[in-house]
Structures are given as structure tokens and as C-alpha cells.
Amino acid sequence: MISCPPLMETSTTHPRVSLCPVNVRLASRETCSRRIGEGKDLGIRVIRGELWATAEGSTEDHVLAAGDFKQFSGPGLWVAEGIGAGAEFEIA
């Protein structure tokens, strides 16, 4: 499992939204996780490839492909895994 890079800064008018999205690349079967704080959201936008994602406490798994966006709400642990040829995605 790789550690996802930290988000840099959040908006002062919308504290749940990151101003500095982070790009992440995962190879097939490579994973990434991030803790989402209470009252915070984590947005994922897939740039290329496919990834599987879920969040702690959720009964749903999500397969996201290029162009897809999904928002996860905290608190809890968010986990993603590259599938197929892997994925490049943006965390905001």
C-alpha cells in the first residue's frame, strides 16, 4: 500500500474542499488509503484507467473509470486499488 500525498490547503469559504488537488498513479493491484476527518469530504476524479474504491462504514464498493467523479464523506478510512492496467486520479 502506498501513502497518498497529503492535501495542501483547504478553502476558507468552503473548508470541505481542497484548493490543491493531488494526482496519484496506481499500478494494477496497488492500493492507496487516506483518513477522512469528521465533517470532511474526499473527492476522486479518475483521469485514466480504472480503480476500485470504498470507505469505512460504507456497504458500497465503487468501480470508477476515466471521467468519473465520486465524493466520499468522513469520518473514516478511504481505500482505493488500481484495477486492470491501473489508474491515474485526482484527490481533492
Q: Does residue 61 form part of some domain?
A: yes
| One pLDDT digit (tens) per residue for the chain, 92 residues | 554 555 444 444 444 544 567 899 999 999 999 999 999 999 999 999 999 999 998 899 999 999 999 999 999 999 999 999 999 999 98
Q: Is residue 17 exposed (0-12), middle (13-18) or buried (19+ Cβ within 10 Å)? A: middle
Under 8 Å between Cβ of 72 and 44? yes
Q: How far, in Å, CA of 37 to CA of 75, rounded?
A: 5
Element containing residue 86 per DSSP (H, E): strand 76-91
* Residue 36 structural domain: 23-91
Query: Considering its fold, how many domains does the chain have in total?
Result: 1
Q: Does residue 11 form part of some domain?
A: no
Q: What is the CATH number of the domain that holds 79?
A: 2.60.120.10
